[in-house]
Each structure stands twice: as C-alpha cells, then as structure tokens.
C-alpha cells in the first residue's frame, strides 16, 4: 500500500528573503548562527540522554511504590520498542517533509508522555505511558544529528562534537544524581518524589520548543515520494517480538515456547521488511542501495557491533561499583565520570583534528582498538582491585569510545547524497540501538547464568576461613549472616540466600564484610567474563572498520548542497534551454556545492578510484 506526497510550491526556487537566522540561499551558516541553533538541538538531545540515566537509577523505587517489581522490565521494554521502531521512520519523513516540524512534534510528544508518566498508577500503566514517551524519543537523537548534517559541512561538523559529548557527560553525571535525589524524597511540591523523574522533562522540553521554534530555520525542498507503509508495518512486526524476547528472554528461557514464537514472528517480519524495501526502491524506509555504498555498509555493520559491545559490557560497570564497592546508585554514577571525561576529551580532540585536516577514517579504527583493549584489561579486575585502577581502565575505555561515536555518524552522512542524510543518520542510529539491545540481552544473560556457579565457587574457597572466623566470634550474628553460614554447614538449609542475591543484590549490604566478600568475588568473576566478551566483540568492530575505504569529506553542508542541486535541476528542466542549464550548473559549481556531483563524491569515499557514471574516474580533491 502506497500513498503519494504532493509536490508543493515550495519545491520551486524562491527569491524571497530567508527568515532571520537562516542562511541565505547558496551560502553556509555562520558560526554564530550554528551555535544559536545548537542551543535548541542540544536541549532536545539532553531530554533523551537525561531520561535514560535518570529513570534507570530510580526504577527500583518506582516499582516498589507502584507495587509492581515483577513488571519492572516491561517499563524498559515498552520504551525501547517504540523509540527503536520510530528512529528510521523519523529519518525518512525528515528527508521528505523537512526536519524542523518533525523535531518539534517529537519534543512535544516526549513532553506529553513524560507528564503522563508522572501520573501513572501502576507499573503496567507506566509501561504504556513509557511507550508513548518512546514515540517521541525515537526522533530526538536521529533528527538532531540529521539537522546538524543539514547546516554544517562534514568537515566542519566534527568541530562541534565537543558540544554533543558535553551533553552526554552532563546527563551521565546529573542523571544518577537527580534520579537518586528524586527517588529518595517522599514528596516534592506535593508530588511523590519519583514522579519528578518524569516531570523534570516538562520545563526542559518547553524551553527546547521555544528555542527551536525561534532559531531553527532550515531550507527544505519537499519532493514527490511514496510513503512506505508496507515497510513500516513489517518493521513493527519484526522488531516488537525480537526486542521483547531480547529483554524478557532471560526470564522466559531462551528456548521456551514464547521465545521460539517470538523468533519465528520476528524473522518473518524481517523477511517481509526486506521484500517491502526492495519493492519500494528509492522510496523505501531504509533504501537497500545504501548497503551498496561501501563506506555506509561498513559504518552500519560496525555500528551494530560497537553498540553490542559498548552498551552490553558497560552495563555491568555501575553494578560492579554498587555490589563490589558498596556505592549507592548516585555514587556509582559519579564513579563513571572517568569514562565520560575520556569520551568527551577524545571527541573534542578528534573533532578539532578532523576540522583542520579532514582526517577522520583513522579515528574509529584506533578508537575501537583502544576500547577493545580497555575492556579486556578491565576483565582482569577482581573484588579486591583498587578503585583507582578500575577508573584508569574506564578512562582508557572512554578515550576509545569517544573516537567511535560522532566520526561514524559523520562518515555515513558524508557517504550518501545530501537529500538522504536523514535516512543515513537514522539507519546508523537504528542499527546501533539494535546492537545495543542484543548486547545487553546477551551479556546480562552471560552474567547471571554464571553468577550462581561463581558465587558457589568463591564460597567453597572461602569456606574454611569463614567457619574459623565464625567460631572465633569475628562475624556478627546477623540474620543474613546466619543464613549464609547455615548454608555452608548444611547445603540443604538456608541456601535460599544464594538465589535471593541474584534478584536483590541489596542483601549483600546487610552482610558483614567477611561474609559479603565471596558474593563480591563471584560477581566480579562473572563481570570479568562479560567484559572479556565485550572486548572480543569490540576487536571484531576494529577488524570491520579496517575495511573502511578512503573518506573525502564534503566542504559544504547538506542544505547548501541540496539548494544548489535543486537550482541546477530547475535550470536544466525541459524548456529551460541549454544555456539556462549550463548557467545553473555553472552557478552550482561556482558555489562550491557538490550538488548532484556531491553524490558521486560521496561514492568516491566508498570506493576510491571506482568507475564514475559514464566510465570516468573520480579523483580526490
């Protein structure tokens, strides 16, 4: 089923004066204009980044208050499903109809969903409202990155990486602190403390709406295209069961009937999606020809692998801080600061180098290698390792990850024609999210499947010392300690504490140091396996990224290139005459815009020296 979007009058070149804050036709935005626009975009991105960290910190308190601990995972799953599914949809619609209105719509929907979440009366009610919130969140990251691609050339874009990394750094530190603060208060201004976890998004979102409405002015030429309803429907059919089983599979059992049904339905949806995209051609939600561009294919493939390693392995680090080092959720968030600072520093430095020299290909290769080595080094961490050594490893890990994030986005945006920058950006983001979801599911399954055995092994090794300490009266006679000691003396009694600790790790905090230590050893041993696996996966990304061809960054923004392309196309229209066509083409060339040529130059970044249309060869300029 397809629909056709009418070609509006806006598609014709206009000589009207651009709005205040917009770049004049054929010209680039100034640095001051870009910073003004960035203020609104970063507020929108901050909304999504803060929400992820603040909710994860307070979800346990929320579940306890709403008496729905068993449904806790569905709150995360619902948000994940809707935000992931809508990511490529926002990207495609932004290319067709313009990104400003879509961005405002995404912020509005996110704010409405956030406000509604604050009035949830049950965990199932909250899960449904989080799904609504996710419908808006899916557009925040991808549209921000695409809009930056519209207004800044790939080479200059790297210079603004520091601003994005600062947003992530601030949200990574502020989120756990704010989440712990809100969750720890009984009431704030008449509302239960945890409800402010969602209410805080409302004023930030309203500020973002105001700034974006006032300052963001983008030139956009709407184009005639079919709407890929078949592809969107197939994507929903594919992702809902697969993402659900990824989140719930550990509880259901990976080979249970429900899991197998999810696999079958999901794979059928994937097959239907591929068929629909092949049928839709250039109008597809994710055009399959993008994968024929070598640079884009490498980036998308690497995004899946990097997402799996990064999100999957890093998930265990805050838990390590809380379980092994006794940190609170807020303290654990602050302990992640070295990694965040490493990411921000690497992003700023690589951005400045790219802006000045045009060099970008080498950074994700070096970064993935560093991140892989750092994860493997962190896999040697034990329950007795000094926190300083752990933080040093996290800093090194951050320095590696910081070289992978923005450079990969810039490379894939540069590899496609300017009019498809939204599809390219959303595709890379979409596949990174999928990789992250799979990584979290696989690595957490590895963690908990080995945790029980590792704890038992640690207790067998520490058993004689514990029994001697108990006989000498060096272990306080607390209820939990007595259960553990009883289990050591008689495995048939009191062993429930070993199973309980996998569902409620806070019980370790109620143990004496001597009794808690074997639990901490067991967890750190399981965490080491996760980090080792993450390191190996990241090194696989290193190998894939070495397949990246030479990359030549465009020197004009996507919007300037699209304007020049549109003017050249209008000048070359039937009846315009050869002279008019030559004049328009010359104007586009003199403006320094790639225009249609930009698409071929992007292909140069895909296969250096590949035959150009017409049998010629592109030369790097």
Q: Where are the domains of the chain?
A: 27-223, 286-553, 558-606
Q: What was the pLDDT predicted at 445?
A: 79
Q: What was the pLDDT predicted at 481?
A: 64
Cβ–Cβ < 8 Å for 595, 584: no
DSSP bridge pairs for 191: 188
Rounded CA separation 250/271 (Å): 25
Rounded CA separation 23/261 (Å): 53
Rounded CA separation 304/290 (Å): 16
Q: What was the pLDDT predicted at 567?
A: 61
Please list, in sequence order, all residues whose beta carbon lies within 8 angstroms of the beta carbon of residue 511, skipping any fewer than 6 positions away: 478, 480, 481, 484, 519
Query: Phi/psi class of residue 226: alpha, beta or left (left: φ > 0; alpha: ψ in -120 to 50)?
Result: beta
Q: What was the pLDDT predicted at 513?
A: 72
Cβ–Cβ < 8 Å for 272, 234: yes
Q: What was the pLDDT predicted at 130?
A: 92
- The residue assigned the tokens 């790097």 is 620
Low-confidence residues of the chain: pLDDT under 70: 1-28, 69-70, 219-225, 470, 472-473, 475-507, 509-510, 557-621
Count CB-CB contacts under 10 A for residue 3. Answer: 9
Q: What was the pLDDT predicted at 219?
A: 66
Count CB-CB contacts under 10 A for residue 184. Answer: 14
- The residue assigned the tokens 């030479």 is 550
3-state helix, strand, coil in the chain (%, to 5): 75, 0, 20
- State residue 225 phi and psi, 5-degree precision: -160, 155
Cβ–Cβ < 8 Å for 428, 299: yes
> What does the block give as tokens for 347?
């992003």
DSSP characters over 435-483: HHHHHHHHHHHHHHHHHHHHHHHHHHHHHHHHHHHHHTT-S---HHHHH
Rounded CA separation 535/393 (Å): 12
What is the Cβ-side half-sphere exposure of residue 62, based on CA atoms within 13 angstroms?
31
Using CA atoms, how far residue 245 sits from 87, 140, 258, 314, in Å, is 20, 25, 8, 21
Please list, in sequence order, all residues whose beta carbon lies within 8 angstroms of the beta carbon of residue 305, skipping any fewer than 6 positions away: 435, 537, 538, 540, 541, 544
Q: What was the pLDDT predicted at 583?
A: 38
Rounded CA separation 1/373 (Å): 49
Q: What was the pLDDT predicted at 272?
A: 94
Using CA atoms, how far residue 390 sits from 41, 377, 484, in Å, is 34, 9, 29
Residue 181, H or E segment: helix 161-183
Question: Would the CATH topology of 27-223 be identical to that of 286-553?
Answer: yes
Rounded CA separation 208/197 (Å): 18
Using CA atoms, how far residue 170 sits from 75, 310, 334, 345, 390, in Å, is 24, 19, 11, 13, 21
Rounded CA separation 350/486 (Å): 57
Count CB-CB contacts under 10 A for residue 567. Answer: 21
Into which CATH architecture does domain 286-553 fall? Up-down Bundle (1.20)
Using CA atoms, how far residue 66 sits from 60, 124, 126, 182, 212, in Å, is 10, 9, 9, 16, 36
Rounded CA separation 410/148 (Å): 10
> What does the block give as tokens for 362?
């080498």
Q: What was the pLDDT predicted at 571?
A: 58
Domain 27-223 has CATH 1.20.1250.20: yes
Rounded CA separation 122/65 (Å): 9
Rounded CA separation 66/123 (Å): 6
DSSP bridge pairs for 5: 225
Instruction: Say how many residues make up the chain.
Output: 621
């Amino acid at each position: 089923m397809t629909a056709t979007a009418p070609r509006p009058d806006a598609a014709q070149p206009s000589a009207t004066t651009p709005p205040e804050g917009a770049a004049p036709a054929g010209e680039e935005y100034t640095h001051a204009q870009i910073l003004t626009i960035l203020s609104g975009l970063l507020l929108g991105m901050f909304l999504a980044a803060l929400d992820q960290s603040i909710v994860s910190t307070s979800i346990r308190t929320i579940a306890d208050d709403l008496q729905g601990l068993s449904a806790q995972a569905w709150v995360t799953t619902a948000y994940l499903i809707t935000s992931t599914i809508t990511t490529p949809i926002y990207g495609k619609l932004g290319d067709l109809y313009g990104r400003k209105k879509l961005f405002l719509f995404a912020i509005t929907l996110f704010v409405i969903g956030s406000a509604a979440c604050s009035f949830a009366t049950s965990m199932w009610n909250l899960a449904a409202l989080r799904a609504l919130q996710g419908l808006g969140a899916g557009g925040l990251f991808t549209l921000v990155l695409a809009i930056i691609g519209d207004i800044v050339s790939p080479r200059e874009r790297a210079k603004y990486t520091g601003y994005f990394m600062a947003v992530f750094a601030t949200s990574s530190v502020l989120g756990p602190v704010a989440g712990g603060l809100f969750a720890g208060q009984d009431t704030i201004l008449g509302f239960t403390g945890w409800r402010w976890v969602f209410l805080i998004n409302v004023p930030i979102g309203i500020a973002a709406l105001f700034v974006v409405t006032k300052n963001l002015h983008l030139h956009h030429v709407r184009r005639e295209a079919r709407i890929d309803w078949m592809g969107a429907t197939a994507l929903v059919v594919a992702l809902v069961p697969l993402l659900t089983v990824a989140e719930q599979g550990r509880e259901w059992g990976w080979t249970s009937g429900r899991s197998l049904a999810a696999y079958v339905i999901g794979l059928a949806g994937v097959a239907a999606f591929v068929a629909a995209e092949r049928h839709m051609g250039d109008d597809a939600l994710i055009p399959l020809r993008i994968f024929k561009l070598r640079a884009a294919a490498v980036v998308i493939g690497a995004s899946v692998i990097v997402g799996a390693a990064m999100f999957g392995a890093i998930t265990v680090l805050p838990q390590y801080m809380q379980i092994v080092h006794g940190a609170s959720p807020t303290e654990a968030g602050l302990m992640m600061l070295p990694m965040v600072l490493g990411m921000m520093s690497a992003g700023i430095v690589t951005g400045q180098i790219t802006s000045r020299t045009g060099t970008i290909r080498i950074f994700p290769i070096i970064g993935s290698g560093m991140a892989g080595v750092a994860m493997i080094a962190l896999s040697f961490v034990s329950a007795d390792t000094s926190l300083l050594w752990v933080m040093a490893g996290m800093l090194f890990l951050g320095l590696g990850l910081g070289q992978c994030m923005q450079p990969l986005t810039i490379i894939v945006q540069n590899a496609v024609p300017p009019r498809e920058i939204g599809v390219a950006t959303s595709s890379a983001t979409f596949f990174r999210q999928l990789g992250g979801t799979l990584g979290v599911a696989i690595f957490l399954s590895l963690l908990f499947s080995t945790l029980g055995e590792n704890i038992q092994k640690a207790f067998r090794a520490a058993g004689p010392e514990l029994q001697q300490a108990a006989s000498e009266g060096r272990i306080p006679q607390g209820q939990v300690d007595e259960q553990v000691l009883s289990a050591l003396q008689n495995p048939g009694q009191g062993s429930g504490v070993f199973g309980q600790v996998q569902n409620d790790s806070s019980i370790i905090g109620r143990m004496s140091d001597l009794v808690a230590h074997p639990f901490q050893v067991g967890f750190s041993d399981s965490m080491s396996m996760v980090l080792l696996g993450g390191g190996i996966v990241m090194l696989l990304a290193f190998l894939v990224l070495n397949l990246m061809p030479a990359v030549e960054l465009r020197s004009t923004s996507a919007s300037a290139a699209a304007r020049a392309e549109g003017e050249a196309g209008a000048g070359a229209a039937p009846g315009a005459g050869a002279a008019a066509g030559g004049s328009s083409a010359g104007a586009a060339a003199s403006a320094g815009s790639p225009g249609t040529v930009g698409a071929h130059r992007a292909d140069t970044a895909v296969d250096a020296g590949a035959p150009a249309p017409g049998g010629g060869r592109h030369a790097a300029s």
